[in-house]
Amino acid sequence: MEDLKELVQKFKKTVKVKTGKDFPTNAYEQLWGAICAVFNSWTNERAILYRKMEGIPYEWGTAVNVQAMVFGNMGDSSATGVCFSRDAGTGEDLFNGEYLINAQGEDVVAGIRTPQQITKIGSQRWAELAGVSEEERVAKFPSMEEIMPEIYQELDELQTKLENHYKDMQDMEFTVQEGKLWFLQTRNGKRTGAAMVKIAMDLFRQGVIDEKTALMRVEPNKLDELLHPIFDKEALTQAKVLTRGLPASPGAATGQIVFFADDASEWAAAKKAVIMVRIETSPEDLAGMAVAEGILTARGGMTSHAAVVARGMGKCCVSGAGALRIDYKARTVEIDGVLLKEGDYISLNGSTGEVYLGEVETKEAELSDDFAELMKLADKYTRLQVRTNADTPHDAMVARNFGAVGIGLCRTEHMFFEGEKIKAMREMILAENIEERRIALAKILPYQQEDFKGIFKAMEGLPVTVRLLDPPLHEFVPHDLKGQEEMAEAMGVSLKYIQERVESLCEHNPMLGHRGCRLGNTYPEITEMQTRAILGAALALKKEGVVTHPEIMVPLTGILREYKEQDNVIRAEAAKLFAEVGDSIDFTVGTMIEIPRAALTADRIASAAEFFSFGTNDLTQMTFGYSRDDVASFLPIYLEKKILEVDPFQVLDQKGVGQLIQMATEKGRAIRPELKCGICGEHGGEPSSVKFCHRVGLNYVSCSPFRVPIARLSAAQAALED
């Protein structure tokens, strides 16, 4: 009490100094002061900046509500509480909430006193979980329904009325003052992804909302929560957060630390759950990533190798956790002073980026019937199709089960990293001349054909877009001495030769170097081999009665003639193969649009290409002039300073990159009206980007398997928003 008095003195003094006037003692004067303060706040600097950012007109002005206070702390006939018309965690259609006798609103939130349940059933459920007997519950923690039955009755009627009025789950606050109920506030309640789906579908089935409204009620991004394992809530409260990285791929994972792909495979084979911890990952880590529960990296952003691959696999990943100090030699990782060794347990939350010490219990994802029904509803309204980015039959199957209607991007490069394939690939790259290269390619051909067979089969009857070899060759060659010695022996050449070749493949800016169709145009024999593998696989399946729709995609086109050269090579090799086999298969040839020049000259390119697929990762890189691998040095500052509102690698930049997409689609279709256009970058699974794709009239988006439901719902919402 003395403290308060002192505080009041201080405030009064400050008011005098700042305003030159004594603090008013007249209540009306105080009220007017408060009202004017709110009005004046409309022109303060922060408000101006905020309006500018959000595009809110100055003319709107602000409003002031003047309300008499009510008090829940006027004795035992007074109380205060919050309540929900449905369960915000599960979506169950059950009125619920908490209250406190003789208390004010802050007391419920502050956690000083333990609030009690409003409904009897809620109270009973709580008691069971807390291990409280029914006698004790009734005596010490009775529900409002039991001790203030009339008030409760009134409250229950009101919440029903409010939900029926707003046609959505309500989050409400109330106060009881000396036996009289005062309703303070109601708003649509926040909820979990699962609750969001259940409430929307329940309200629809209850006839409160129609199916379009049900579809619009679900935030697509929230579906993610339903598709991945999550931490047990109780367990999480006990867990210690070690550090925080980027939420690169959602889900929860717990396991033992390993640093190397080989160990991951070995430990996983021994039925151990492992978390792969790396400074950053490379294609050589794929096998390890595939068997790990989760991946944690010290470097790399939301679209780093680790992040992209993990999302593709639907595997939990936290990337760019800068606090990690990894010592590969010692097999340790230090995180802000905590030293962990190989084999120690950690847990990752890929949806928040949190890294926990030790094991934290996880729960598997379970898809409800409501979810399936929602997806069915979505398809009813969607115009934009949803395909998937998948490089393995497993990923293809997962995506198909999630409703993908084809593969929009099958990258061939990931296929090269298993077992013997990488050796043949390296031989091809390190070859000194075309003859040697052809010999190595002949070794790769059967592997590739088998890989394509698997994927085509998983997508039977649906279109599969296969992208020809894209990454710079140096990504495939061994950069370590052991690997180089191996290749020297295998190829019967000197170690020095191998090292010189590896060195000569290094580039200053590999992202802008010898890659994409620049490879196919300098080494057409690679394109020939891949064409043969793709169409050979399709022909083999045709014999087995499996229907395939291969679409061959030329990457990184920037010039019409560049595309045409590849188109010629592909069609010539196809004709040769068909003649040899005495059978043929329908296929189309098209191109990625991921170089700004390709978008600018899309009318020319469409004169030859049968489809466009916007590679928005690269297109974003080139349009902004950002390398995904290097943005970490300035992107966080750009986001903080609001130079960028969002990471353009996550959310499609509609003003710049989007302008190119729209321009290219229009120019392309002006020349070839039936031109099929899609997008296969990371943006294909991001709601606002999917909606943009719908608006500019693309035929499909393609995203990683676990984003397929999100894209489907976004596509439906886009159609409804039209």
Near its own copies by CB under 8 A: residue from 219, 342, 507, 610: 507
As measured in angstroms, the least distance from the Cβ of 298 to its own copies is: 12
- Judged by beta carbon, residue 73 or residue 659, the one nearer its own copies is 659
Q: Is 660 in the site for its own copies (CB under 8 A)?
A: yes
Q: Is 483 in the site for its own copies (CB under 8 A)?
A: no
**Residue of 316, 680, 693, 703 marked active site:** 680
Cα–Cα dist 387/465, whole Å? 10
> Which CB, 381 or 624, lies closer to its own copies?
624
Residue ranges of E strands in 282-380:
294-297, 316-319, 324-327, 332-335, 338-341, 345-349, 354-357, 362-363
Interaction of residue 329 with its own copies, rule CB under 8 A: no
Q: Look-up: residue for tokens 């590896």?
A: 502
Out of 59, 633, 673, 674, name the contact with its own copies by CB under 8 A.
633
CA distance 289 to 285: 6
- Please check whether residue 96 is in contact with residue 84, taking contact to mean a CB–CB distance below 8 angstroms: yes
CB of 506 to its own copies, least distance (A): 9
Q: Is 510 in the site for its own copies (CB under 8 A)?
A: yes
Q: How far is CA 387 from the centre of its chain?
A: 16
334 binds its own copies (CB under 8 A): no
**Residue ranges in 131-245 assigned as alpha helix (H):** 134-140, 144-147, 149-166, 193-205, 211-217, 224-227, 233-238
Q: Where are the alpha helices (DSSP H) in 492-559?
A: 495-505, 517-522, 524-543
CA dist 433 and 445 (Å) reads 18
Give the interface segment with its own copies, choosing from 127-135, 160-168, 388-396, 517-525 (CB under 8 A). 517-525
Helices within 523-600 (DSSP H only) = 524-543, 560-581, 596-600
Question: What's the CA gap between 627 and 631, in Å, rounded?
Answer: 6
* Segment interacting with its own copies, rule: CB under 8 A, options 96-104, 129-137, 224-232, 505-513: 505-513
Q: Please count the other Cβ atoms lying within 10 Å of the Cβ belonging to residue 617.
A: 17
228, 305, 474, 694: the active-site residue: 305
305 in catalytic set: yes
Of the residues 657, 664, 701, 703, which one makes contact with its own copies according to CB under 8 A: 657
Stretches 106-114, 318-326, 330-338, 622-630: which one binds its own copies (CB under 8 A)? 622-630
Minimum CB distance to its own copies, residue 531 (Å): 19
Segment contacting its own copies (CB under 8 A): 110-118, 402-410, 541-549, 592-600? 592-600
The alpha carbon of 151 is separated from its chain's Cα centroid by a whole number of angstroms, namely 45
Torsion angle of the four alpha carbons 558, 561, 564, 568, in this order, in degrees rounded to the nearest 10: -130
Asked if 601 interacts with its own copies (CB under 8 A), we say yes
Of the candidates 285, 618, 682, 686, which one interacts with its own copies according to CB under 8 A?
618
Considering only 163, 470, 562, 567, the residue that binds its own copies (CB under 8 A) is: 562
Q: If binding is defined by CB under 8 A, does position 642 make contact with its own copies?
A: yes
| Binding test (CB under 8 A) with its own copies, winner from 10, 13, 380, 561 | 561
Tell which one of 522, 543, 545, 674 touches its own copies (CB under 8 A): 522
Among 373, 436, 596, 610, binds its own copies (CB under 8 A): 596
Judged by CB under 8 A, the stretch of 387-395, 546-554, 641-649, 682-690 that binds its own copies is 641-649
Q: How far is CA 305 from the centre of its chain?
A: 15
Q: Which amino acid is at 138?
A: V
Question: Cβ(408)–Cβ(385) under 8 Å?
Answer: no
> Can you state the percent helix, strand and coil of the chain, rounding each to 5?
50, 15, 30
Q: How many residues bind its own copies (CB under 8 A)?
A: 48
Q: Judged by CB under 8 A, which of 624, 650, 671, 695 binds its own copies?
A: 624
1, 655, 673, 674: which one contacts its own copies (CB under 8 A)? 655
For its own copies, which is the closer residue by CB, 429 or 716?
A: 429
List phi, psi (to 5°) of 278.
-140, 155
Q: Can you tell me which of 508, 543, 545, 586 binds its own copies, judged by CB under 8 A?
A: 508
Q: Based on CB atoms, which residue is closest to its own copies, 171 or 594? A: 594
Contact between 433 and its own copies by CB under 8 A: the answer reads no
Strand-strand pairing, 294-297 and 332-335: unpaired
- x/- track of binding to its own copies for residues 74-113 (CB under 8 A): ----------------------------------------
**What's the closest the beta carbon of residue 510 comes to its own copies, in angstroms?**
7
Which of 481, 585, 495 is closest to 542 using CA atoms? 585
Q: What whole-number distance in Å separates Cα of residue 318 and Cα of residue 292?
A: 13
Return the range that interacts with its own copies (CB under 8 A); candidates 61-69, 111-119, 236-244, 649-657.
649-657
Compute the distance between CA of residue 253 and CA of residue 251 in angstroms, rounded to an integer.
7
Among 170, 521, 665, 714, binds its own copies (CB under 8 A): 521
Give the interface segment with its own copies, choosing from 253-261, 268-276, 327-335, 616-624 (CB under 8 A).
616-624
How is the beta sheet containing 294-297 ordered, strand by strand?
240-244, 354-357, 345-349, 252-258, 274-278, 294-297, 316-319, 246-249
By CB under 8 A, tell whether 279 contacts its own copies: no
CA pair distance 196, 190, nearest whole angstrom:
9
The DSSP symbol for 599 reads: H
Q: Does 511 bind its own copies (CB under 8 A)?
A: yes
| Beta carbon of residue 219, minimum distance to its own copies (angstroms, whole number) | 27
Instruction: State yes or no: residue 650 binds its own copies (CB under 8 A).
Output: no
Q: Does 602 bind its own copies (CB under 8 A)?
A: no
Among 49, 139, 481, 643, indicate the residue that binds its own copies (CB under 8 A).
Answer: 643
Hey, what are 313's tokens?
A: 């696999």
* 659 touching its own copies, by CB under 8 A: yes
φ/ψ bin of 240: left (φ > 0), alpha (ψ from -120 to 50), beta (otherwise): beta
Are 683 and 614 in contact, with CB atoms under 8 Å apart? no
Residue closer to its own copies by CB (options 482, 508) is: 508
**Positive/negative CA dihedral, 200, 205, 206, 211:** positive
Residue 414 falls in the annotated catalytic set: no
Is residue 49 at the binding interface for its own copies, with CB under 8 A as the rule?
no
Q: Quick one: how far is CA 121 from the chain centroid?
A: 37
Alpha-carbon separation of residue 341 from 257, 277, 281, 615 (angstroms) = 7, 11, 19, 40
Tokens of 449: 């054909």
Is 647 a binder of its own copies (CB under 8 A)?
A: no
Which of 343, 362, 359 shows the shortest CA–CA distance to 266?
343
Binding its own copies (rule: CB under 8 A), the pick from 621, 704, 714, 717 is: 621
Residue 5: DSSP 8-state:
H
Residue found under tokens 């807390």: 130
Looking at the Cβ atoms of 581 and 644, the one nearer to its own copies is 644
DSSP 603-619: HHHTTT-SEEEE-HHHH
- Choose between 210 and 630: whose C-beta lies nearer to its own copies: 630
Pick from 278, 275, 262, 264: which is nearest to 328 by CA? 278
Residue 496 as a binder of its own copies (CB under 8 A): the answer is: no
Should residue 595 be labelled a site residue for its own copies when binding is judged by CB under 8 A? yes
Contact between 653 and its own copies by CB under 8 A: the answer reads: yes
Distinct helix (H) and strand (E) counts, the chain: 31, 26
Q: Is 604 in the site for its own copies (CB under 8 A)?
A: yes
Does residue number 622 form part of the binding site for its own copies (CB under 8 A)?
A: yes
- In the list 638, 651, 671, 720, the residue contacting its own copies (rule: CB under 8 A) is 638
Would you state the structure tokens that stand for residue 121, as one six-digit string? 């059933």
Q: How far is the CB of 299 from its own copies (least distance, A)?
A: 10
Catalytic residue IDs: 305, 680
| Binding site residues, its own copies, CB under 8 A | 507-514, 518, 521-522, 556, 558-559, 561-562, 565, 594-597, 600-601, 604, 618, 621-627, 629-630, 633-634, 637-638, 641-644, 653, 655-657, 659-660
